[in-house]
Amino acid sequence: FSRLHGSYEALKGGNTTEAMEDFTGGVTEFYEIKDAPKDIYKIMKHAIDRGSLMASSIDDDLGFSYGSAPRSNIGELIARMVKNQENAQMTHSTVDYQGMEERPAWTIVPLQYETRMSCGLVKGHAYSVTAVEETVFKGEKIRLVRLRNPWGQVEWNGAWSDKSEEWDSVNEAEKIRLQHKVAEDGEFWISFQDFMRHFTKLEICNLTPDTLEVDKFQTWTVSVNEGRWVRGCSAGGCRNYPDTFWTNPQYRLKLLEEDDDPEDEEVICSFLVALMQKNRRKERKLGANLYTIGFAIYEMHGTKHHLQKDFFLYNASKARSKTYINMREISERFRLPPSEYVIIPSTYDPHQEGEFILRVFSEKRSLSEEVENMIEAERPLPIIFVSDRANSNKELTADENAGKDGENTQADKKKRSSTKAHEETEEQKQFRNIFRQIAGDDMEINAEELRNVLNNVVKKHKDLRSEGFELESCRSMIALMDTDGSGKINFDEFQHLWDKIKSWQKIFKCYDTDHSGTINSYEMRNAVNDAGFRLNNQLYDIITMRYADKNMNIDFDSFICCFVRLDAMFRAFHAFDKDGDGIIKLNVLEWLQLTLYA
C-alpha cells in the first residue's frame, strides 16, 4: 500500500475510508451522527452482518477529525495548533459566501493534534467498529457497539468498558458470545447510547451499495467513468462561477427502470453517486493537497452535445452533493424519477487541475457515459488545401468536382486566377497595392512577405490590439493556402485568406469584451464553435495547452494560428476521406509531408 502511494510518509494522516475503499473497491457512505436516521442502529447491524467495514470518529473542538498520533516536536505541535485556530477564524469571519449557491464545508485538515478525553476516548481520531450486538442487562435489552483503537491501546473507561461493573451482571456464556476480555488491546465495548453521545461521524464502506435499511439483499449495477479537470479548459469550478461551470466534464445518466418496492407508490429510481479525486496523496510530496469537490445533477432531454452556459443559467439542478468538501471521495444517495440526467463533477474553485473517478450505482438498469461532441466542421469551401506534393499522381481536393479537369495543372490554375479581371472594392485595391509593393512582378509572396502584408493591414485596424503576426503563424497560413507546394501564395489566395481572417477577427472581438487583445481560454470553446468547428474535451485541452499563455489567455496571433491549423487539418482530412466514412489511410510519406508542412 505504501509502494502504491510512493512512500510510508504518504500514508500519514487522512481518512480511514481511503484505506477501506482501496483494499475492497467498495463505496463509502457518511453519516453525521447528530443527523443520523432513527434506525441507524439497524443500519449498523446490517452492515456488520454483510461484512461491510465501519469506522467512527470524534471531531475536535475546531471541527477537525482524522489524524495521526502527536509527535514529540512540541514546537511543530504548537505551530499546528496556531494554524488551526487561524484557519477556524478565517473560515468564520473573512470569507463571505452570502448570495452564493454553494458553500464549502469546514475543511478537514490531516495531521491534527489528537486529544485524549477523560473518558478515555480520543478526539480527532478514527476507531474501527468491529461488532454491533444486543444483550440483556437487569432484565432489559441493551444495545452495544464494539470499537477498536488502531493504536492497540488507550480505551474507553466508562460503562461497558473492559473492567466496568456492568459485566458483573452478565453470565459467562453471554460473555463468551460477546467475546468480552479484560486486556489493554485497544478493543472495547460501549453502549449504543454512549456511542451516539460521544461520537460525531460514522462511515460505512460497502462492497456494493446494498440498501442497508431493508432486510432483502439487493444487487446494484455499477458504471465507472474516469476524467480530469484541466486548468483553462475543463476546470470550471462550482456553480458560483457561471462563466466557467459549464466547461466541467459532463456525464449523461439514463435511469430506465423504477425500483421494485411494493410499499413505495412513487415512480422512483434509487442510485448512488460517488466522486473520487485521484493521486492527491501520492503527489503530496509535490505539494498537492485534496481539492474541495462536489457535484450537481441536472435533468436533460434529447441532446448528446456538451451543455452550454445558457442551460445552467436557466435550469436548476434536480439534486446535488450536500456540500463541497476536501475529502478524497464524496458519495450521496438519490431518488429521482426515470429520465435522462447529466452529472457535473467539479472542484469548488476553478482552475484546479486533477484527475477523478465518477462511479454511479443504481438499483435497476441505467446507462452512464461522458457527454462528448462529435468532431466535425462545417462543409469546406470548394478550394484545394492539400496539394499533390505527397503523391504527384494523386489529386486531392476539398470539392468533389475539383480535379476532374486533367488538362490544367495546379500551377496553371494559380496563374489564371491571379490574372482574372473583376471589380474591386476600395479595400481590395488597397490590398492589391500593398501586395504588389511587397510581392514584386511575380505577384506571389512567401511567409516573411505575408507577415509584412498582414501586419501592415492589422495596423490600420485601431480597434484590434495586436502586436502583429509571428513568422510561424504566417508559415501555417502559407501551408493552408499553398496548392502547388511552392511555398508561396498569389493575390487571390491571399484575398481568400484575408476573408477568413476577417471572419475570425469578428469572433475574436466578440469575446474580447475588455479590448485587452486576448480572450480567456474558456471562451475559446465558444469561439471555436462559432467558427464552425465541433470538438471534444480532449481537443479543447490540446488547444489550451498549445495556444494559451500562463494566465490562460489567448492573444490574436495564437487565436488565428489555431483556426488556420484547424481549418487546414479538417480540409486535409476531408480531401483524403474519399468515401466519407470518417477514416483515412496514409502511408508514412503522406503522413510526414502532411504534418510537416501544415
Q: What is the pLDDT of residues 46-69, one digit of tens each?
A: 788 777 889 999 886 654 444 433
In a shared domain, residues 186 and 148: yes
Supply the CATH number for residue 591's domain: 1.10.238.10
Q: Is the pLDDT of residue 594 over 50?
A: yes
Residue 211 lies in a domain: no
Q: Give me the chain's average pLDDT, please.
A: 78
Supply the CATH number for residue 123's domain: 3.90.70.10
pLDDT at 106: 47
pLDDT at 462: 62
Maximum CA extent, the chain:
113
Q: Residue 23: which residues within 8 A CB-CB, separation 6 or more?
A: 1
Q: Grid coordinates representing 283? A: 503527489
In a shared domain, residues 198 and 228: no
Range(s) of the domain holding residue 550:
376-596
Length of the chain equals 598
- pLDDT tens for 245-261 read 999 999 999 887 776 66
Helix (H, G, I), strand (E, B) or coil at 77: helix
Q: Is the pLDDT of residue 414 over 50?
A: no
Q: Give the active site residues.
A: 125, 149
Which residue(s) pair with 224 in the sheet? Answer: 359
Tally helices (H) and strands (E) across the chain: 17, 23
Final residue of a structural domain among 353, 370, 387: 370
Q: Residue 186: which residues within 8 A CB-CB, separation 6 or more?
A: 148, 149, 150, 151, 152, 153, 154, 155
Angle 579-581-584 (CA atoms, 0-180°, nearest 5)? 80
In a shared domain, residues 405 and 447: yes
- Cα separations (Å) of 194 from 158, 191, 197? 9, 5, 5
In a shared domain, residues 562 and 415: yes
Strands (E), 512-595: 518-520, 533-534, 553-555
Q: Grid coordinates representing 117? A: 478525553
- For residue 551, the Cα-to-chain-centroid distance in whole angstroms is 20
Q: Which residue has the cell 493537497?
A: 289
In a shared domain, residues 393 and 277: no
In a shared domain, residues 393 and 488: yes
Residue 213 lies in a domain: no
In a shared domain, residues 293 and 342: yes
The DSSP call for residue 423 is -
Q: Percent of the chain scored above 70 by pLDDT? A: 76
Residue 212 lies in a domain: no
Q: Is the pLDDT of residue 207 over 60?
A: yes
Torsion of CA 102, 513, 548, 277, to 10 degrees: 10
Q: Residue 239: which residues within 8 A CB-CB, separation 6 or more?
A: 101, 102, 245, 296, 312, 317
CB 552 within 8 A of CB 353: no
pLDDT at 383: 43
- For residue 77, the Cα-to-chain-centroid distance in whole angstroms is 36
Q: For 29-36, what is the mean pLDDT?
A: 86
Residue 173, Cβ density class (10 Å: 0-12 exposed, 13-18 middle, ≥19 buried): exposed
- Cα separations (Å) of 431 from 118, 437, 468, 482, 505? 88, 10, 17, 19, 17
Distance CA 308, CA 310 (A): 6
Strands 354-362 and 221-229: antiparallel
Final residue of a structural domain among 370, 396, 414: 370
Residues 485, 490, 493, 494, CA torsion sign: positive
In a shared domain, residues 405 and 502: yes
In a shared domain, residues 475 and 582: yes
Across 277-286, 371-380, 582-591, least confident range = 371-380
CB 205 within 8 A of CB 26: yes
pLDDT at 365: 67
What is the 3-class SS of 155-192, one letter each residue? Answer: CCCCCCCCCCHHHHHCCHHHHHHCCCCCCCCCEEEEEH
In a shared domain, residues 570 and 442: yes
Final residue of a structural domain among 351, 370, 389: 370
pLDDT at 427: 67
Q: Is the pLDDT of residue 393 over 70?
A: no
Residue 216 lies in a domain: no
Give how many domains the chain has, as a whole number. 3
The pTM is what? 0.69
Most confident by average pLDDT, 110-124, 275-289, 348-362: 348-362
Where is pLDDT greater, at 379 or 132?
132
Distance CA 334, CA 318 (A): 10
Supply the CATH number for residue 230's domain: 2.60.120.380
In a shared domain, residues 196 and 236: no
Torsion of CA 383, 475, 582, 528, to 10 degrees: -90
In a shared domain, residues 24 and 167: yes
